[in-house]
């Protein structure tokens, strides 16, 4: 099988590629990535001489380019996306282009070429939940421009499934953490700043709750959806591991033997959802998926990875570690 992976130089995409190639000798991967913010060629430097891996630089909104690349492959997993919520508040346009137009370009081509498409989405399409948990049938209620673009892509994809019988599957996941995550995100930002004994910004009072899943567990779920999932279906992926932000930061500081005095509460971002929660019973019962790594073990592995790979995080711009990035006008 030859698989096209978009956004494969990013956090989840690169981990997916490494894991899939490590576990499947009969799979070849073509990685298409535009090398925009969040992409890091160093993530896949170990595949430089692999015969089962090929990288092509390009943008998923380029129809002619994507027709050619998809034509070489049997299926597509679309990780490519603008995904940093704070940036979508400052400027939503790149999110509309990549997350809607890009997803549609892939959808239209895979439908015409009769290829399977896996659209990697997010729990944020369901919005903030004061109680209960979202199932695959729950109503969308996105709060941020980012979440709205991901929900819009899902609606277009569902319409193609109904209208044209497209072989499409949507996966939605909760907050990922693990190696190779871009430094703007909470966990890597905390690790990097703590290692430098610098102040660690936490939005508001730190009570916002997310369900945290180790990236390899998410990748396992996407693989199952690709190889065993039913066309036209969506699958929620969660670890049932809801933790508030300040507790996350304190756990990292504890593992790193750093003082909690490094914590600095800063202005909350506009429209910050309080809690996300999803039910993953469907993918567990239908595809046999389950998490393999506890949060504490995964956090220890993640911290150690960043400490062992300083070259990945060296020379970061001040913007990346900004305490209130949605205010940047770049």
pLDDT tens digits for 218-238?
A: 999 999 999 999 999 999 999
Does the pLDDT at position 11 exceed 60?
Answer: yes
Does the pLDDT at position 310 exceed 90?
Answer: no
Does the pLDDT at position 111 exceed 60?
Answer: yes
| Pairwise CA distance, residues 8 & 43, whole Å | 9
| Pairwise CA distance, residues 122 & 176, whole Å | 10
In order of 172, 204, 252, 302, the CA distances from 257 in angstroms are 34, 24, 8, 15
What pLDDT score does 313 carry?
Answer: 63
Does the pLDDT at position 324 exceed 90?
Answer: no
250-271 confidence digits (pLDDT tens): 999 999 999 999 999 999 988 8
| Whether residue 300 lies in the annotated active site | no
| Pairwise CA distance, residues 86 & 71, whole Å | 35
The number of beta carbons lying within 10 Å of the beta carbon of residue 77 is 28
What pLDDT score does 291 carry?
Answer: 98
Does the pLDDT at position 329 exceed 60?
Answer: no
| Pairwise CA distance, residues 211 & 296, whole Å | 13
| Whether residue 146 lies in the annotated active site | yes
Higher per-residue confidence, 68 vs 323: 68
What pLDDT score does 314 carry?
Answer: 64
Q: For the whole model, what pTM was predicted? A: 0.96
Does the pLDDT at position 144 exceed 90?
Answer: yes
What pLDDT score does 178 carry?
Answer: 98
Q: In what order do the strands lie in the sheet with 175-177?
A: 175-177, 209-214, 242-244
Q: Give the closest residue to 221 by CA, choosing from 305, 267, 278, 142.
A: 278
Looking at residue 104, what DSSP letter applies?
H
Q: What is the percent of the chain with per-residue pLDDT over 90, rounded to a whole number? A: 87
Among candidate residues 33, 82, 146, 273, the one labeled active-site is 146
What pLDDT score does 325 carry?
Answer: 81
Looking at residue 314, what DSSP letter applies?
T
Among candidate residues 33, 86, 123, 211, the one labeled active-site is 123
**To the nearest 10°, the Cα dihedral for 150, 173, 48, 184?**
70
Does the pLDDT at position 316 exceed 80?
Answer: no
Pairing of strands 53-57, 75-78: unpaired
- State both tokens at 7: 């956004």
Q: Which CATH class is domain 182-210+242-271+294-327?
A: alpha beta
- State both tokens at 156: 């277009």
Looking at residue 133, what DSSP letter applies?
-
Return the CATH number of the domain spanning residue range 2-176+213-237. 3.40.50.720
pLDDT band at 89 (very low <50, low <70, confident <90, very high): confident
Does the pLDDT at position 87 exceed 90?
Answer: no
Average pLDDT, the chain: 95
Does the pLDDT at position 317 exceed 60?
Answer: yes
Does the pLDDT at position 319 exceed 90?
Answer: no
> Quick one: average pLDDT of 79-103?
92
| Pairwise CA distance, residues 164 & 104, whole Å | 14
150-196 confidence digits (pLDDT tens): 999 999 999 999 999 999 999 999 999 999 999 889 999 999 999 99
| Whether residue 136 lies in the annotated active site | no
Burial class from Cβ neighbours inside 10 Å (0-12, 13-18, 19+) for residue 202 reads buried
Say how far residue 72 (Cα) sits from the centre of its chain.
Answer: 25
| Pairwise CA distance, residues 192 & 187, whole Å | 9
- State both tokens at 66: 């994507």
E strand spans, 228-272: 234-237, 242-244, 263-266
> Quick one: average pLDDT of 237-246?
97
182-210+242-271+294-327 has the same fold as 2-176+213-237: no
Among candidate residues 33, 124, 167, 216, the one labeled active-site is 124
The number of beta carbons lying within 10 Å of the beta carbon of residue 295 is 18
Looking at residue 68, what DSSP letter applies?
H
Cβ atoms of 32 and 60 within 8 Å: the answer is yes
Burial class from Cβ neighbours inside 10 Å (0-12, 13-18, 19+) for residue 106 reads buried
Domain ranges (residues) in the chain: 2-176+213-237, 182-210+242-271+294-327
Higher per-residue confidence, 83 vs 56: 56
Does the pLDDT at position 330 exceed 70?
Answer: no
Say how far residue 126 (Cα) sits from the centre of its chain.
Answer: 16
Can you spell out the DSSP letters for 162-200? Answer: HHH---EEEEEE-EEESTT--TTSHHHHHHHHHHTT--E
What pLDDT score does 318 carry?
Answer: 67
What pLDDT score does 271 carry?
Answer: 87
What pLDDT score does 86 carry?
Answer: 82
């Amino acid at each position: 099988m030859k698989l096209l992976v978009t956004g494969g130089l990013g956090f989840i995409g690169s981990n997916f590629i490494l894991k899939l190639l490590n576990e499947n000798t009969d799979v070849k991967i073509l990685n298409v990535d535009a090398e925009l913010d969040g992409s890091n060629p160093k993530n896949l430097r170990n595949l430089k001489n692999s015969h089962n891996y090929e990288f092509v630089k390009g943008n998923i909104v380029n129809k002619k380019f994507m027709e050619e690349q998809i034509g070489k492959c049997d299926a597509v997993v679309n990780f490519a996306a603008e995904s940093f919520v704070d940036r979508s508040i400052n400027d939503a346009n790149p999110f509309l282009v990549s997350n809607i137009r890009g997803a549609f370009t892939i959808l239209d081509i895979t439908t015409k070429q009769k290829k399977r498409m896996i659209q990697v989405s997010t729990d944020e399409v369901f919005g903030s939940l004061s109680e209960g948990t979202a199932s695959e049938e729950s109503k969308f209620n996105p709060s941020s421009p980012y979440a709205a673009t991901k929900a819009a892509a899902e609606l277009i994809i569902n319409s193609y499934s109904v209208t044209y019988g497209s072989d499409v599957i949507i996966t939605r996941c909760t907050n990922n953490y693990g190696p190779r995550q871009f430094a703007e995100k909470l966990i890597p930002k905390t690790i990097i700043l703590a290692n430098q004994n610098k102040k660690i910004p936490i939005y508001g009072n730190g009570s916002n709750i997310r369900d945290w899943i180790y990236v390899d567990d998410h990748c396992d779920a996407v693989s199952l959806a690709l190889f065993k999932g039913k066309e036209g279906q969506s699958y929620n992926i969660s670890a049932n591991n809801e933790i508030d932000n300040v507790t996350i930061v304190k756990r990292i500081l504890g593992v790193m033997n750093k003082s909690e005095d490094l914590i600095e509460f800063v202005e909350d971002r506009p429209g910050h959802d309080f809690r996300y929660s999803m039910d993953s019973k469907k993918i567990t019962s239908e595809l046999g998926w389950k998490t393999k790594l506890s949060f504490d073990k995964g956090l220890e592995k993640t911290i150690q990875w960043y400490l062992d790979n300083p070259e990945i995080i060296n020379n970061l711009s001040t913007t990346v570690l900004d305490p209130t990035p949605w205010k940047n006008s770049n």
